[in-house]
Structure 1
């Protein structure tokens, strides 16, 4: 049985059956005890009635009258019978109703006490034995034993009627409760069915995540599922983007190798291969572990900024040697970057490549303390500017999105600025686009 609703319904039905069964047994026992207690009182009342109607003989001894207070004592086989024994067995009296009947034997009890029993033999009886002392005219105390017997048939009939009534009412109540229980369970399980329906809609692509208004007991589960869906979606996008980022990052070293190969200088080609192959390995290793990058790390290593810039400028000078770009770098050799070196290389590589691609003849790299913020490049803002056409104000936000490009005429994938912006944001920083005094674009990095 794999259905939670079926399990709960079965468990609740078993508990309900046990509860109602025990309740029926308790009610039956209480009703029987009540009847027997009332019957004991009635039988004792018969004894008092007989004593009240008793007469005395000429010696003052007790004698029961011929006219009895209860008509059932006169009617044969009426179900009510009385036996009296006294005077050490010399006096024995039987009610007329006990004629031709074999009654249960009397049970002696101490004087002034009573004993009530249920006797089951060929015929079931309730029997009350009561012993008393009667003083005759001489002052002598004579013991008498009253035994009142009543057939258990009437009590058993009343118990049977009560049991049928109890079974009818409790059975009806159990049936109604089972129906209500099923309705309540179905209503209580509705959020789980809603989760199931939403998951089916996600599987069919009709929605992207769980959107129902779930109760608090399911909220952590649904939030966890949504987080897992988002994580999987982000991982899928990250892997897809990583392929584009890898291709984009390898474009520059490949261009260097291609340009050197076209020059037909074997020595320069060997030098280019020796220089660019390690860089390509670094790029590949960086992209492979990019999924694990979480941004700013408290105890991250400090990386010098200037050597990375010099390496990138040297490579780009080879790629864009036809443009005769003059790159001026005003970054001190002591400036450090607190983070992964691969992140800094990837970020600056994309920004400098754009500067070389769109710049006409000048690229300037410097640290601007006037634009600084609480950053990990020693509290300064790194700026890269060129003398190209610049980026219009209207599209500066858009070009930071992946796949968006400012110049559709120039070959490209629209990845560089988005990759750089993403790395900067991972470190809690900000990348801004402005106007350069050289006439082109100014890219400022605050992180």
Structure 2
């Protein structure tokens, strides 16, 4: 089908509108030409009858002669719409056809043309529209008016019948042309659909670049997209190298300052030690953010969420042997995560590790697919039977560096990094009260189509 707002639909409706206008105009013009042709034929027929009566009058030399007649039987039928009369110079009837009996047929009032012929359209007493042709003939000292009338209503009826048939035929032609237009529009748009599918394959991780051959009109677009992907990969690689260089460049001076402050005594040494620790934490945090931003900007990656979660549950079971982890997943195959495998491990690993640390021995993990207003999403639910969080604490704990219990080792950056990664991927993170009594974390992430990961982009 032609989707609303698509180029194919626009082309179809534009061509359909122009087609309707062209066919209606063609129908009107054909009907007008046919009407003119019939009227011209009728006029020529009437001229022929006038000439025949003129010849008979000149031959018989007597306008009242019964031998003056026309062979057309329509002139013998009353109310047929076909009449002829001959009047003398004073307008008195001297001869007429049988069909005129009982009818007062007026003379033509129009002026004569260069050939002495007058023509006019009138209605007879029965409502029949007539085309009248009249000619003045001189016989000796007398002049006579020969008038012949033909049935114009029959002509108009033929025109109406032709109009109806013409529009039926043109309507059938229009339907066939509209179907052809729709087919042509769909065929013409197929390269764009293939290009869209190729770009979608890159976004979903099935391909690292836009592949395939395209018409000359859109081939440059495909090349530009590929060039953009290559440029993006190069920029990301340079950013990674710069981040690494910055990390190495800052670690050494900070380590020297920290060592010097520990080797010295006094207030200044304590201040230097405290501030260098803060600087180290900030540098690590911002380097981590830069690393995450660079990594998640790579197009065309996806990961098997089911395998990753199974692996994380096994690892956390070894790290926290005193905690029972229950992993629930649907029987059907799950969609893949549209993103980097290491990012999903970092997001889910942080959340799972926090649940194990704060639980009282029981942690539940559920993995499922969810369809909602934001399309298909991967739903990860992690809940524990620990102390949980109030609504106010749940909002605070997602802030950078905020910790609700300073006794537990850590920097307080774990949840913030998780939240930032989730935001980068366009997902969502919610902290609620679990039915187990502790904290429930609901994580929603974008999904990709099932399949194997694409090869990494060539730099």
Q: Which has the larger radius of gyration?
A: 1
**Residues 243-302 of structure 1, C-alpha deviation per residue, up to 9 Å, x if partnerless?**
212112334445655676687699xx9xxx9xxxxxx9xx9xxx9xxxxxxxxxxxxxxx
**Selected match of 2:132 from 118, 128, 131:** 128
1:36 aligns with 2:39: yes
Distance 2:133 2:243 in 1: 104
Which secondary structure does the structure 2 equivalent of 1:144 belong to? strand
**Residues 391-434 of structure 1, C-alpha deviation per residue, up to 9 Å, x if partnerless?**
xxxxxxxxxxxxxxxxxxxxxxxxxxxxxxxxxxxxxxxxxxxx
Residue pairs, 1:392-411, within 5 angstroms: none
Distance 2:164 2:116 in 1: 37
Which secondary structure does the structure 1 equivalent of 2:163 belong to? helix
Distance 2:106 2:173 in 1: 43
Q: Structure 1: which 5+ runs fail to align?
A: 274-279, 288-447
Give the drift of 1:85: 1.5
Q: Which residue of 1 aligns with 2:15?
A: 12
Q: Structure 2: which 5+ runs fail to align?
A: 274-279, 288-459
Distance 1:27 1:117 in 2: 24
Do the aligned partners of residues 198 and 221 (structure 1) sit closer, same or farther apart at CA in structure 2, a change above 3 Å counting? same
TM-score scaled to structure 1, two decimals?
0.53
Q: Which residue of 2 aligns with 1:236?
A: 236
Which secondary structure does the structure 2 equivalent of 1:109 belong to? coil
Which secondary structure does the structure 1 equivalent of 2:18 belong to? helix
**Residues 354-381 of structure 1, C-alpha deviation per residue, up to 9 Å, x if partnerless?**
xxxxxxxxxxxxxxxxxxxxxxxxxxxx
Q: Which residue of 2 aligns with 1:95?
A: 97
Q: Which residue of 2 aligns with 1:75?
A: 76
Do the aligned partners of residues 238 and 51 (structure 1) sit closer, same or farther apart at CA in structure 2, a change above 3 Å counting? same
Give the drift of 1:154: 2.5
8 Å contact from structure 1 (residues 73, 95) kept in 2: no
1:48 aligns with 2:64: no
Q: Which residue of 2 aligns with 1:186?
A: 186
Give the drift of 1:105: 4.5
Give the drift of 1:198: 1.6
Distance 2:195 2:175 in 1: 31
Which secondary structure does the structure 1 equivalent of 2:250 belong to? helix
TM-score scaled to structure 2, two decimals?
0.52
Distance 2:30 2:75 in 1: 36
Distance 1:110 1:100 in 2: 28
Distance 2:181 2:128 in 1: 44
Residue pairs, 1:169-248, within 5 angstroms: 169-248=169-248
Give the drift of 1:28: 0.4
Which secondary structure does the structure 2 equivalent of 1:54 belong to? helix
**Selected match of 1:23 from 7, 26, 51:** 26
Distance 2:188 2:87 in 1: 71
Give the drift of 1:47: 0.6
Do the aligned partners of residues 102 and 225 (structure 1) sit closer, same or farther apart at CA in structure 2, a change above 3 Å counting? farther
1:154 aligns with 2:154: yes
**Residues 114-171 of structure 1, C-alpha deviation per residue, up to 9 Å, x if partnerless?**
23333357523332332324141xxx3x332222111223313322332233123211
Give the drift of 1:207: 1.1
Distance 2:207 2:106 in 1: 85
Q: Which residue of 1 aligns with 2:5?
A: 2
Which secondary structure does the structure 1 equivalent of 2:76 belong to? coil
